[in-house]
Structure 1
Amino acid sequence: MTPSPPHGPLHFLADVAIHPARHYTSQTDNAAGPSNQYSMSSPTVASLHISCGKDASSLSSPEPIPLKRSNSSNRFDTETRSSLRRKKNHKTPSYSSKARLQLKNRRKELMEKAMKIRSLDNSPVNSRQFIVLRMVYDEITMYPSESWMVLMAIIIRRAFKQVKNWFSNERQKNRSGKVIPVETGEGDKVRLRPLAIQAFQEWSDKLFEEVVMIHNYKVLRNSRQEDAPMDFPHAQ
């Protein structure tokens, strides 16, 4: 039996939604990860629609743009359908040729950065890497796109090839769970878990990067707190 993360992403995303500035500032200051250098239309972590008491109104955002479903989309239950609040006749926004070129160049740079990361062949992932990868697999997607695997490799400091192999091996062992084919903000076709779509209506490279960076930071912070020695009062 494999260990599971102490909290699912909805747990920490709800906390981030309450204190987005505190969490994301700490993350960008402490974790080594790719920077967002291109401007693409996508929701942010703080746009999560979770009721948080009297302060929930301050977190509300305009009605989210629903995902464009492919023709091969699985059927899902009424509860999930209701939670998505889809609009009819939605089309994925088209980007200018300049924006597409920026995206292509950024992905190329990130791939080059990921390919420079070296890990020992056949070496197991450490506990932090496992928790992050497990969270993505169980609650976002078991079929991450190449660009998302590149982002994970950079954030958790694991060779791109090994991240790719990890997901392939997990799918061979356990391919259970519903997935919904959708298009990301960049137009990539991915298969997401219903839980991921309930959390955010439209996914993109930028949003995926933010979610994984924050989760990686939280796991790292918790592990440091657990490893920190306890301070005992000095005897008088």
Structure 2
Amino acid sequence: MTPLSSTDLDAIRLSIQVAVAATLLSLPFGFAVAYLITFVRFRGKVVVEVLVNLPLTLPPVVVGYFLLLLLGRHGWLGSLLDLAGIRLIFTLKAAVIASAVVGFPLLVRSLRIGMEAIDPQLIHASRTLGARWHDTLLTVILPLSLPGLAAGSSLMFARSLGEFGATIIVAGNIPGITQTIPLAIYDYAASPSSDEMALTLCLVSVVISLIVLFMHEIMAKKMIRRD
């Protein structure tokens, strides 16, 4: 196996950094959306569910292009950020946002499964004893949702780790700045003389993904045993 270069190590570091940041960024929003869909009755819930799951059905390149239109200098949000001196496109922040958007449905789905498995009588008992909705949320729903939260986080981390299409559109492929493992592999695969380096990074990606997926399976089994 070919030794990793400093550029490869940067790609591994950036991949893990992007995956962690995207997961942490999405956690509060994912929990809020899962709670809204699971416990709140309102008109248009189906529309919310469709919009949340839309990134799963769209090609990542399409998601990236929409983000480019939104966050670019001429986009409605990007233009406002540009006035404030904030630049997102072709930065690591853009890679984090792209990974967060693409992996968000997986996080919400796992959280919903965890929340739907909560015994409604526990929630009813909490409210009967005088607990307000936020007390019930913090003392009943959140603790019982932790396995789903952990499982969803691991799935989203793994998905963010392998994100390519949306990332290359909004963040580019800049070595040491925005180049993650998939983008580095893409560069190596385009060169016939760099097959060994591409294979090395593929093996690194496989090892990291296996570790994350093993953690996910452990969380999933804990959820099943709890049920």
Q: TM-score range by the shorter chain?
A: under 0.3
Q: Could you state the TM-score of these two structures normalised by the residue count of structure 2?
A: 0.24
**Structure with greater Cα Rg:** 2
More helix by share: 2
